[in-house]
Amino acid sequence: MKVSLIKQIEEKMQAHLSMEQMGQLHQVLESCLISTEQQKDNEKDLLQLFLAAKRVEGCSGKTVKYYESTIRNAIGKIKKEITSIETDDLRIYLDQYQEENNISKVTIDNIRRILSSFYAWLEDEDYIVKSPVRRIHKVKTCKTVKETYTDEALEIMRDECDGIRDLAIIDLLASTGMRVGELVKLNKSDIDFQNRECIVLGKGNKQRKVYFDARTKLHLQKYLSSRSDNNEALFVSLQKPHNRLLISGVEIRLRELGTRLNLHKVHPHKFRRTLATTAIDKGMPIEQVQQLLGHQSIDTTLQYAMVNQNNVKESHRKYIG
């Protein structure tokens, strides 16, 4: 492509330049185009090196793809070399991106956080002197009280769900607080029925132990004894060939159940938030809840747990009123 472009330019300029000038033009074009190609290669290398570093740190393939697409979108829109991008460029990009796409402040802050991670890495690796994201502060977001399941809603779902498999899924999510991604990765051999526990593979390929109650144990055993397939997965699809159940399969099943029972926002993650809230509400130390949920930061655990307002009212009467 480079040779073809030089040839086109030279043909158009041939009538206007002498032989000596044509020679100089040829040298300049080769020098500039080679420099531009090297620049693009270097920028591509920087991004790929950063993504490799993230993979080494234990980030999942899904996370790495999100990092890559977010950074590529920003660089493509700003249209500057990676190492030449300044704070104002990024501020303008974030402002325009939010306005054009009408997205939430949470999403904008996620983009800011990813760009910050990338440029902090460039700074640490001495590719740049100072990250341009340093002066872009965390985006202030409105904190909303996220819903949890009531005891009544959980019992209604248990009573009305279709089949023993779905009942076992609801029980396991509700009693362990595991992520739906962790649930679908489980194999039958991972379950320790005697001690009512299992080891799940969480974010960053970190393993942790979670625990389930007696009801979950009975329903899991009943579900497994009803199966005739040889799949090692703990949960499989209802239709042949009974492949491992996917995250989307769990989400669709729960959403359909919620719609049928007229329950608001039934989804797997809500079980996790409900367990965190209930545990803290009943006095479990926050550090233990953090370990149970597999959170790296205790701040994340606090965001998951919504304190029961009735208990706040009772405490106010007890200690203040």
Q: What are the catalytic residues?
A: 179, 203, 269, 272, 295, 304
Q: Are residues 179 and 37 in the same domain?
A: no
- Residue 94 within a domain: yes
Average pLDDT of 265-283? 89
User: Is residue 3 pLDDT above 80, yes or no?
Assistant: no
pLDDT digit string, tens, across residues 215-257: 999 999 999 999 999 999 999 999 889 999 999 999 999 999 9
Q: What percent of the chain has pLDDT over 70?
A: 87
User: Is residue 38 pLDDT above 90, yes or no?
Assistant: no
SS3 label, residue 200: strand
Q: Which of 106, 124, 142 is the last residue of a domain?
A: 124
- Residue 47 within a domain: yes
Q: Are residues 172 and 304 in the same domain?
A: yes
Tell me how far apart the alpha carbons of residues 89 and 79 are, in angstroms, rounded to a whole number. Answer: 10
Other beta carbons within 10 Å of 203:
15
Q: In this predicted structure, what is the pLDDT of residue 52?
A: 93
Q: Are residues 262 and 301 in the same domain?
A: yes
Q: Are residues 295 and 162 in the same domain?
A: yes
Q: Are residues 120 and 209 in the same domain?
A: no
Q: What DSSP string describes 142-192?
A: ---------HHHHHHHHHHSSHHHHHHHHHHHHHH---HHHHHH-BGGGEE
User: Which range marks the domain in which residue 176 is found?
Assistant: 151-316
Which sign does the torsion angle of CA 199, 267, 181, 298 carry?
A: negative
- Residue 169 within a domain: yes
- Residue 140 within a domain: no
- Residue 210 within a domain: yes
- Residue 70 within a domain: yes
- Residue 135 within a domain: no
Q: Which of 124, 159, 179 is the last residue of a domain?
A: 124
User: Is residue 30 pLDDT above 80, yes or no?
Assistant: no
Q: Are residues 61 and 172 in the same domain?
A: no
- Residue 137 within a domain: no
Q: Are residues 100 and 211 in the same domain?
A: no
Q: Are residues 90 and 17 in the same domain?
A: yes
Q: Are residues 117 and 159 in the same domain?
A: no
Question: Residue 181: which CATH number?
Answer: 1.10.443.10
SS3 label, residue 131: coil
User: Is residue 19 pLDDT above 90, yes or no?
Assistant: no
Q: Which of 124, 159, 190 is the last residue of a domain?
A: 124
Average pLDDT of 130-154? 85
Q: Are residues 94 and 175 in the same domain?
A: no
Q: In this predicted structure, what is the pLDDT of residue 51?
A: 93
**176 versus 302: which is more confidently predicted?**
176
Domain count, the chain: 2
User: Is residue 37 pLDDT above 60, yes or no?
Assistant: no
Q: Are residues 157 and 305 in the same domain?
A: yes
Average pLDDT of 288-314? 75
Cβ-based neighbours of 227, under 8 Å, separated by 6 or more:
236, 242
Q: Are residues 163 and 78 in the same domain?
A: no
**Burial of 27 from C-beta contacts in 10 A (0-12 / 13-18 / 19+):** exposed
